[in-house]
Amino acid sequence: MIIFLNGTSSSGKSSIAEQLLRVLDTPYFHLGVDAFGAMRAVERTLELDGPAQAEVLRRTRAGFHRAVAGMAQAGNDVVVDHVLSEPWRLQDCLEVLDGLDVFLVGVHCPPDELERRERARGDRVPGQAAAQLHSVHQHGLYDFEVDTSVSSPRECALAIKEFLGQATGTRAFDELRGRARGHDPSTG
């Protein structure tokens, strides 16, 4: 099982992932895109010119998607924490995670609260998260959605757990993959 949290920076994905690992009944792993970026050599990356840096970042994300697939294919349950801010990231996940059970969760937070959190964190540029809102949720389809401006991370985690236990039918990932390939998955 892959519980895939998608939301802007500061929307509350990591906080929910942390709570999910506490409330879920089996030992899930939390794999976050930020943690993968943090594994890279910072100084060697900064020495590169713009296009070379962009390529390193793209490869980091592509590698992250394949690491998630590898963990799940080995039988591990995973909570993914990602920012689908470019169309290729979702398309790549749809391909790489084909055959795996993905439960896609939209993590929402309104712009004013995002900006308040960015100011409180101090290491973010205020307004950057809100600027991602459109692109991150552009595909417009989820298995479940939470609003972190009205629910605590624990409440969101408990709601996800409850809905996951009841969810049946076609997953958003299968529907989105079908759309990308130009056919309806419910008709095979």
Q: Which spans of this chain sit near ligand ATP (rule: CB under 6 A)?
A: 7, 9-15, 34, 81, 117, 121, 148, 151-153
Smallest distance from ligand ATP to CB 141, Å: 20
C-alpha 111/C-alpha 99 separation (Å) is: 35
Please provide the size of the chain in residues: 188
CA pair distance 95, 74, nearest whole angstrom: 18
**Which residue is it, tokens 């969101």?**
156
**Cβ at position 84, least distance to ligand ATP in Å:** 12
Shortest CB 168 distance to ligand ATP, Å: 28
Ranked by CB distance to ligand ATP, the top (closest) residue is 12
Q: How far is CA 143 from CA 85, 103, 140, in A?
A: 18, 6, 11
**What's the CA gap between 176 and 183, in Å, rounded?**
10
Indicate the residue among 138 and 152 with the shorter CB distance to ligand ATP: 152
Task: For ligand ATP, give the closer residue by CB, 20 or 175.
Answer: 20
Q: Residue 13 or 89: which CB sits closer to ligand ATP?
A: 13
| Nearest distance, CB of residue 29 and ligand ATP, angstroms | 16
Looking at the Cβ atoms of 58 and 124, the one nearer to ligand ATP is 124
> Which of 159, 180, 153, 118 is closest to 18 using CA atoms?
153
